[in-house]
A and B are shown apart, each in its own frame.
Chain A
Amino acid sequence: MNLMQIFIAFRKELWEFKKTLFWVPIVIGIFMITAPLLQLLLLESAQLRIVIEGVSNADSLIHINGLTQIFLATIMGMFAPFILVGLVIQLYYFTTCLFDERRDQSIYFWRSLPVSDLQNIMVKLMTGALVVPAIFMLAATSVVFIFVFFALIGSCILGSGYDVSFWELWRHADILSHLSSVWSGLFFYALWMFPLFSWLMLASMYANKAPFLWAVLPVVLLLIVEFYVVGYLKLESHYLREALWEYLALARELIPGSIQQEDNPNHIFTSALWSKISLIGTALGIGFMCLTHWLRVNRSHL
C-alpha cells in the first residue's frame, strides 16, 4: 500500500470540493457567532435587566441539577447545525463523486494512472464518511472555542469589576471532555450511515443521468410495492417501511431534552450511535460497495 498515493488521493477529493468544504462551514460559523451577539445587542432594556440579573446570580447556577448535562446539550446544540448541513453535503458528495467524473469524462484520465479502482473508491468512501463531517465538526469546535474565549473574557471582567465569580461554573463545564465525547461519535456515526452512503455511491456509479433519482426511486418503488402487497395479503406489518424508519430515526438519547436525564452523559453519544449500527445494514453496505467496485472496473464510461 502506497501511503503517499492515498494521501494525495484524499487531497484530490478536497481540491475538487474545496469551495463547499471551505466556505459552507465558515458561513455557518459566522452565523453561529454573530446571531447571538446581534440578539444581545437588540435586547430591550427590560430583557437586558433580566439577563444582568441572571448573570449576577451566577453563583446559584451551580446548584442546578444536571449542570454537566446542560453543558453537553449546549455543545451538541452548537454542533447540530454543522452536523446537519454536513450531512446534506455528505449526501451530495456521495451522489456525485462517481457520477461527475464519468459525466465530464475525466474518469479516462483518472483511470489512465496507476491507481487501483479499489483504492479510489475507498478514498471516496472515507472522504465522504469521515473527512467531510470532520471538517464540519472542526468548524463547530472552533465556534465552541470562540464562545469559550468570549465567556472567559466575560468571566474575568465580571469577576474583577463586579465581584461575580464564574469559576465554580467553569469547573462543572467539562468542555474538553464533552468535545471529545462528541468527536468520538464520528466513527460510529460513519458506521451507522455506511449503508446509506454506500447505496448513494452505487447510484452515483450506476446512473447515466440523474443519480439522485436513481438513489431515491428504487426505494420509493419498493415501498409502494410493499404497501400494495401488505394490503393485498392483509399482512400485519410493513417490514421495509419500518426497517427504514428504524434505521433513519435519530436515537432518543441524542435529542437534547433527553440528555439531561442521562446519568453518564459523556458516553451518550457513542452508545446512542452504537445502537443504530446493525449487522444487516453493514452487510448491505459492503454488498453495495462490492457492486460499486465491480461497476467501476467493468462499466466506467457513460
Chain B
Amino acid sequence: MSPLISISGLNKFYRKNHVLQDINLNVEAGQILGLVGPNGAGKTTCLQALLGLTRYKGDIRVLGHNPSKHRTKMLESVAYIADVAVLPKWIKVSQALTYMQGVHPNFDGKKALAFLAKTNIPMSATVKALSKGMVTQLHLALILAVDAKVLVLDEPTLGLDILTRRQFYSHLLEDFHNDDKCIIITTHQIEEIEHILTDVAFIKDGQIVVNESVEGIRSRFKLLAVTNENLAAAKAFAPICVNNMLGLTSMLFDDADLDALASIGQVSSPSLADVFVGIMTQEGVK
C-alpha cells in the first residue's frame, strides 16, 4: 500500500539557517503520527512544506500530489489546523459554514452542524466574541466536516484547558479517524496524546532523530531504576539519559540487553515523554 504522505530529502533554508535537514517520512492510512520536538525544531516548517505553504527543497507527495504545484487540488482531501487561532475575527459562525459549503467540495454542512449542536456556540456569534476554546471547537467542527484523507494538526490544543484538550482528542478519534485516513499532529503535550498515537517522529534541530511506531519505541527503549550500589554497573550499558531523584537513579536505555538490565535494577517501559526528554537531552542517538 502506498503511503498517503511521502516526504523524502526535505530541506529548508531560512537565509543561512538550515531549518530542515534531509527529512524523510512516510505516513500510511490508519496511522496517527506525532511529530514531536522542542520549540524551533522545525515542526511547523515541516507541516507548512507538507501543505505547500512554504517553499522547500526535496520531494513531497501528499495523496500523490506535489504540494507546491497542486496545492489547491491536494487541499480538497487534506484538512489543516494551524498552531494559532487562525479563524478570521470578523466572520460569523453561520458565515464560516456557508463559506466552507461554497468553496470545499468535500464539506458536509450537516456534519458540522451536528458537531456544533453539541457545543454552546451560537450560530450568529462572530469569532471575535467566542472564547479560545470555542474558536478551537468551531475550527474543529469545520475541519472534521471535511471528508479528508489527511488531517494535519499543528499544536491544535495550544493554550486550551485540559477539559477542552481531552474533548478535542476524543472528537478527533470518534468523528474523524478511521483506517482509510491518516493524521499528522505536532504537540508539546505528548503525554496527553500518547494513547492515540500509532507512530512518533522526534525532530531535533531540523532533523528526524527517531521515527518509529509507538510499540517499537516501547520495546526499543527501556527505563531502569537503580540504587547507588548498582550505578556503575548500569552506566556500563551506556544510558542515553540519567536522572537522579530522592536517592534513586533512573536511566533510559536504547536497545540494551533486557535480561542484563533486569539483573541490576527494576526495568519498565518508558512513556513517550520520557523517551522524548531522554533523546532531546543527549548528544546523539544511534
Contact = CB atoms under 8 A, between A and B. Distances in A.
Q: How large is the interface on B (under 10, 10 to 19, 20 to 34, 35 or more residues)?
A: 20 to 34
Contacts of B264: none
A300 interface: yes
B13 interface: no
Contacts of B53: 108, 111, 300-301
B103 A115 contact: yes
B86 A8 contact: no
B79 interface: yes
A16 B88 CA distance: 9
Interface string A111-149: 111111000000000000000000000000000000000
A108 B84 contact: yes
Given A9-B103, A112-B75, A300-B53, A105 B82 contact: yes
B46 to A, nearest CB: 15
Interface in A31-61: none
B146 to A, nearest CB: 9
Helix, strand, loop or mixed for chain A's interface? helix
A15 B96 CA distance: 10
A65 interface: no
Q: How large is the interface on A (under 10, 10 to 19, 20 to 34, 35 or more residues)?
A: 20 to 34
Contacts, number: 75
Interface string A23-36: 00000000000000
Contact of A113 (B73, B82, B90, B104): B104
Interface centre among B81, B99, B101, B105 (most CB of A within 10 A): B99
A267 interface: no
A104 interface: yes
Given A8-B98, A15-B95, A115-B72, A109 B87 contact: yes
Interface of B: 51, 53-55, 71-76, 79-82, 84-92, 95, 98-105, 139
12 contacts: A11-B102, A15-B91, A15-B95, A105-B85, A107-B86, A109-B82, A112-B75, A112-B79, A113-B100, A114-B74, A114-B105, A115-B103
Interface of A: 4-5, 7-9, 11-12, 15-16, 101, 104-109, 111-116, 298, 300-301
